[in-house]
A and B are shown apart, each in its own frame.
Chain A
């Protein structure tokens, strides 16, 4: 692949796909599915060295597996067994009750800082985080989070008790964030050793105590790329923004008809702006027969709808990892649906089009430079 091209990795109910395009992002080459038949919750290329691609494949017959490719998805090898052994010990000795069972699903992979080239962070169900420093050959559990004092108060959401968001502050790499449904947001300031709940200002509508320390059903969080003290949060209970590194949250989404949803992204070249795709909370579908993507601006403190007219008529939903954005200017924004449409804006959400390929239901969309 030529340098400067964009790769979009798509995880679906039936496998993983890799798409490439030039900087115009109008025409796409689609390759896949890899791991056909597997429920690929997340597939992502390492932005530090994008020839390394990782797929989190869940399978009812064979269980969860991590696959790694070192040639941009040409060949794959399984790398997960050491992590399973860690959980075998956990199940026997440390946890009780329903959490003594095996891994339910692998959810999300995040890549470590630039100066730690082999480092990976993995989130799973039951909500736990693991770190690898050798590109997935071995894993260590982050016990400061996995055995957190509040764990007994964590509950599964409809998708299970999943650790689905892992963020690293690029300006302060020891500062990390984790999002767990339904436990809330946690922050570490010491590289993952210790974790503090960060949910002040986010209510919990589905239990008697509405402002607890933990138990919030966060769906996705992202950092503002220009000012990572700003954190954008799509929660079960609305769209929130924090301007103090998650110490407190403000619900900004109340002005919308619905601010329930799953996805959020903040493009690198659009500082102070984030994109959300709200859904009607009962059906988990866009309203009015048209999925809408809203741009939130920190400067104007307003939402602006970006999908004009009804270019994608139908009742569409999204999964939480199914939106991402690229590093180019104008920004490319990518949104996958639960029914397999991949929507692309190549111009910072001024216009949207659909990749002319119908995928299986999309779990995740992740962008990286093509290797």
Chain B
């Protein structure tokens, strides 16, 4: 199973800080999150399907691209981190 770690910024939408998934891609993993936790719909991705500007997804420590990176395959003991970069002031 793939481990998905969620930063504390997402606690408004997902009560847990980690979940597991058998999804085969980053996109499928996010769709599964949206299915299981509907409040997170449109919060990680905008309505065009792209990751929001300040949402950062890492697979085994490597950041995926906002659009093309959603097709990144997931398997075995992969670890996904969903983080938010610092913005604003």
**Chain A residues packing against B (C-beta within 8 Å):** 60-63, 78, 81, 84-85, 87-88, 91-92, 100-103
Q: Which residues of A contact B53 (CB under 8 A)?
A: 60
Q: Is the CB of A91 within 8 A of B52?
A: no
B1 within 8 A of A: no
Assuming the A-B contacts A60-B54, A61-B54, are A85 and B87 also in contact, with contact meaning beta carbons closer than 8 angstroms in the complex? no
Q: Is the CB of B47 within 8 A of A103?
A: yes
Give per-residue flags for B56-68: 1 if the beta carbon is below 8 A from chain A beta carbons, else 0: 0000000000000
Dominant SS at the B interface?
Answer: loop
Q: Which residues of B contact A88 (CB under 8 A)?
A: 47-49
Assuming the A-B contacts A81-B41, A81-B42, A84-B42, are A60 and B88 also in contact, with contact meaning beta carbons closer than 8 angstroms in the complex? yes
Q: Which residues of B contact A85 (CB under 8 A)?
A: 47
Q: Which residues of A contact B42 (CB under 8 A)?
A: 63, 81, 84
Assuming the A-B contacts A61-B87, A81-B42, are A87 and B47 also in contact, with contact meaning beta carbons closer than 8 angstroms in the complex? yes
Q: Is the CB of A102 within 8 A of B47?
A: yes
7 A-B pairs with the lowest CB-CB distances in the bound complex, closest first: A102-B46, A88-B47, A84-B47, A62-B43, A91-B48, A60-B87, A87-B47
Complex: A85 Cα to B41 Cα, angstroms: 11
Q: Which residues of A contact B41 (CB under 8 A)?
A: 81
Beyond A63-B42, A63-B43, A92-B48, list 15 extra A-B contacts (CB 8 Å).
A60-B53, A60-B54, A61-B52, A62-B43, A81-B41, A81-B42, A84-B42, A85-B47, A87-B47, A91-B48, A101-B46, A102-B46, A102-B47, A102-B48, A103-B47
Q: Is the CB of B48 within 8 A of A101?
A: yes
Residue of B whose beta carbon sits closest to that of A83: B47
Q: Which residues of B contact A102 (CB under 8 A)?
A: 46-48, 50
Q: Is the CB of B48 within 8 A of A63?
A: no
Q: Which residues of A contact B84 (CB under 8 A)?
A: 61
Q: Out of A63, A84, A92, A100, which one reaches B52, CB within 8 Å?
A: A63
Q: Is the CB of B87 within 8 A of A63?
A: no
B75 within 8 A of A: no
Q: Which residues of A contact B88 (CB under 8 A)?
A: 60
Assuming the A-B contacts A81-B41, A81-B42, A84-B42, are A61 and B47 also in contact, with contact meaning beta carbons closer than 8 angstroms in the complex? no
CB A143 to nearest CB in B, in angstroms, measures 17
B19 within 8 A of A: no
Q: Is the CB of B43 within 8 A of A100?
A: no
B71 within 8 A of A: no
Q: Which residues of B contact A63 (CB under 8 A)?
A: 42-43, 46, 52
Q: Which residues of B contact A60 (CB under 8 A)?
A: 53-54, 87-88
Q: Which residues of A contact B49 (CB under 8 A)?
A: 88
Q: Is the CB of A61 within 8 A of B48?
A: no
CB B61 to nearest CB in A, in angstroms, measures 22
* Residue from A61, A63, A100, A101 with most neighbouring chain B CB atoms (10 Å): A61
Complex: A272 Cα to B18 Cα, angstroms: 61
Complex: A92 Cα to B43 Cα, angstroms: 19
Q: Is the CB of A100 within 8 A of B48?
A: yes
Residue of B whose beta carbon sits closest to that of A62: B43
Complex: A62 Cα to B84 Cα, angstroms: 10
Q: Is the CB of A61 within 8 A of B46?
A: no
Assuming the A-B contacts A60-B88, A61-B87, are A91 and B55 also in contact, with contact meaning beta carbons closer than 8 angstroms in the complex? no
CB B27 to nearest CB in A, in angstroms, measures 15
Residue of B whose beta carbon sits closest to that of A85: B47
Q: Which residues of B contact A84 (CB under 8 A)?
A: 42, 47
Complex: A60 Cα to B50 Cα, angstroms: 14
Q: Which residues of B contact A91 (CB under 8 A)?
A: 47-48
* Residue from A60, A62, A84, A101 with most neighbouring chain B CB atoms (10 Å): A62
Complex: A63 Cα to B48 Cα, angstroms: 12
Complex: A87 Cα to B46 Cα, angstroms: 10
* Residue from B41, B48, B50, B54 with most neighbouring chain A CB atoms (10 Å): B48
Q: Which residues of A contact B52 (CB under 8 A)?
A: 61-63
Complex: A103 Cα to B48 Cα, angstroms: 9
Residue of A whose beta carbon sits closest to that of B41: A81
* Residue from B9, B39, B52, B87 with most neighbouring chain A CB atoms (10 Å): B52
